[in-house]
């Protein structure tokens, strides 16, 4: 079993990522850590517990993380996940307690407990992981890796057309806390960034038959996804919005789902026009080799990804 920590800001798609991660038989979900992002951290740590209780997994600890980005105030999300942050599923208030540990300390402690074994999945801003790497730099070399829904690399027309941050070419998670992303990108820990190029492709949409299967299932997680799809459709968005973060879990289960390329990437932290942009230096000549090298999602097998997701949601 692959040991993972899911660091997230639920969020309807983070909620579905929790469902997938908790149900996948080849993943051991050690903890869910929450962060400010789609919603303030007080909301995201309630939402994480609501989802875990919905699927009967209140045994998985949830730790509250950073309430703000590392050095700047938090922006407001131009795309809303609804009044409750969960596509207006309005799940019951959770009864499971929050962990007494801060998320940053939980990440540090688990990584030290299982050296070389843990992959952190980041489906929100990277504030918690960057703070953990700042507080305990030794964990950079102890992590197995990081898989993140992060960035937009301009590899296809979806990368910027579906930009989620509030600048023309940024992805939301990097846009919220670009300094945190810069720390993680430059950490030397193996990082796979699944950006908008692969995670927001219109091919990730569900068929009418899929949607009916979620509607007709007795499982609450299938009902949750059905409601989320209706919620985004009502607002004129595509169904893929409900499962963007699930690709990080899919990749953790089966890395053959996404082809990656290696590249030098810098994160913009200054310019108001391009704040949060992840700039891939793909030039033939004079490449800025001082920029960190990361793996970037370039091409996904959407058919197999959706099949895996459906199996896990409906199982």
Residues lying near ligand BDR in the complex (CB under 6 A) are found at 11, 13-14, 38, 79, 123-124, 149, 164, 171-173, 244-245
d(CA 58, CA 277): 37
Beta carbon of residue 47, minimum distance to ligand BDR (angstroms, whole number): 11
Q: Closest by alpha carbon to 23, among 220, 237, 262?
A: 220
Beta carbon of residue 299, minimum distance to Ca ion (angstroms, whole number): 22
Q: Which is nearer to ligand BDR, 172 or 305 (CB)?
A: 172
Beta bridge partners of 203: none
Distance of CA 139 to the CA centre of its chain: 20
Number of H helices, E strands in the chain: 12, 9
Q: Which residue has the tokens 């609804």?
A: 82
Beta carbon of residue 232, minimum distance to ligand BDR (angstroms, whole number): 11
Q: Which is nearer to Ca ion, 106 or 249 (CB)?
A: 249
d(CA 143, CA 114): 9
Q: Is 171 in the site for Ca ion (CB under 5 A)?
A: no
Plot region of 144 (φ>0 → left; ψ -120 to 50 → alpha; else → beta): alpha
Q: Which is nearer to ligand BDR, 9 or 105 (CB)?
A: 9
Q: Which is nearer to ligand BDR, 108 or 280 (CB)?
A: 280
Q: Which tokens is 192 given?
A: 């796979």
Q: Closest by alpha carbon to 164, among 183, 181, 149?
A: 149
- Look at residue 34 and give the partner it binds from Ca ion, ligand BDR, none, a contact being a CB closer than 5 to 8 Å depending on partner kind: none
Beta bridge partners of 145: 119
Q: Is 151 in the site for Ca ion (CB under 5 A)?
A: no
- Look at residue 221 and give the partner it binds from Ca ion, ligand BDR, none, a contact being a CB closer than 5 to 8 Å depending on partner kind: none
Distance of CA 14 to the CA centre of its chain: 6
Beta carbon of residue 124, minimum distance to ligand BDR (angstroms, whole number): 6
Q: Is 123 in the site for Ca ion (CB under 5 A)?
A: yes
Q: How many CA atoms lie within 13 A of 18 on its CB side?
A: 35
d(CA 46, CA 292): 35
Beta carbon of residue 252, minimum distance to ligand BDR (angstroms, whole number): 15
Taking residue 256's Cβ as centre, other Cβ atoms within 10 Å add up to 8
Choices 155-163, 196-204, 215-223, 244-252 (CB under 5 A): range interacting with Ca ion: 244-252
Helices 178-185 and 127-135: angle between axes, nearest 10 degrees: 60
Q: Which residue has the tokens 């730790």?
A: 63
Q: Is 94 in the site for Ca ion (CB under 5 A)?
A: no
Q: Which is nearer to ligand BDR, 114 or 237 (CB)?
A: 237
- Look at residue 295 and give the partner it binds from ligand BDR, Ca ion, none, a contact being a CB closer than 5 to 8 Å depending on partner kind: none
Beta carbon of residue 215, minimum distance to ligand BDR (angstroms, whole number): 23
- Look at residue 172 and give the partner it binds from Ca ion, ligand BDR, none, a contact being a CB closer than 5 to 8 Å depending on partner kind: ligand BDR
Q: Is 124 in the site for Ca ion (CB under 5 A)?
A: yes
- Look at residue 171 and give the partner it binds from ligand BDR, Ca ion, none, a contact being a CB closer than 5 to 8 Å depending on partner kind: ligand BDR
Q: Which is nearer to ligand BDR, 158 or 206 (CB)?
A: 158
Taking residue 14's Cβ as centre, other Cβ atoms within 10 Å add up to 33
**Sites of contact with Ca ion (CB under 5 A):** 9, 11, 14, 123-124, 245
């Amino acid at each position: 079993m692959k040991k993972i920590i899911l660091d997230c800001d639920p969020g309807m798609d983070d909620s579905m990522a929790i469902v997938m991660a908790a149900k996948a038989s080849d993943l051991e979900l050690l903890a869910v850590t929450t962060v400010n992002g789609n919603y303030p951290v007080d909301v995201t740590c309630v939402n994480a517990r609501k989802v875990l209780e919905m699927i009967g997994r209140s045994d998985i600890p949830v730790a509250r993380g950073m309430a703000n980005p590392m050095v700047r105030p938090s922006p407001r999300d131009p795309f809303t996940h609804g009044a409750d942050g969960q596509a207006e599923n309005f799940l019951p208030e959770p009864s499971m307690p929050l962990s007494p540990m801060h998320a940053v300390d939980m990440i540090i402690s688990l990584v030290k407990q299982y050296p070389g074994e843990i992959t952190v999945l980041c489906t929100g801003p990277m504030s918690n992981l960057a703070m953990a790497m700042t507080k305990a730099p030794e964990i950079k070399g102890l992590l197995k890796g990081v898989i993140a829904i992060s960035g937009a690399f301009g590899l296809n027309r979806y990368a910027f057309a579906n930009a989620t941050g509030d600048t023309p070419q940024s992805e939301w998670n990097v846009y919220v806390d670009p300094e945190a992303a810069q720390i993680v990108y430059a950490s030397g820990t193996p990082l796979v960034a699944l950006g908008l190029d692969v995670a927001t492709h219109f091919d990730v949409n569900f068929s009418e038959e899929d949607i009916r299967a979620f509607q007709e299932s007795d499982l609450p997680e299938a009902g949750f996804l059905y409601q989320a799809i209706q919620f985004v459709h009502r607002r004129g968005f595509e169904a893929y919005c409900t499962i963007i973060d699930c690709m990080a879990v899919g990749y953790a289960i089966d890395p053959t789902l996404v082809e990656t390329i290696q590249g030098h990437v810098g994160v913009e932290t200054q310019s108001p026009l391009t704040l949060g942009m992840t700039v891939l230096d793909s030039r033939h000549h004079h490449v800025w080799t001082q920029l960190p090298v990361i793996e970037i999602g370039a091409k996904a097998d959407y058919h197999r990804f959706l099949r895996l997701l459906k199996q896990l949601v409906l199982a």
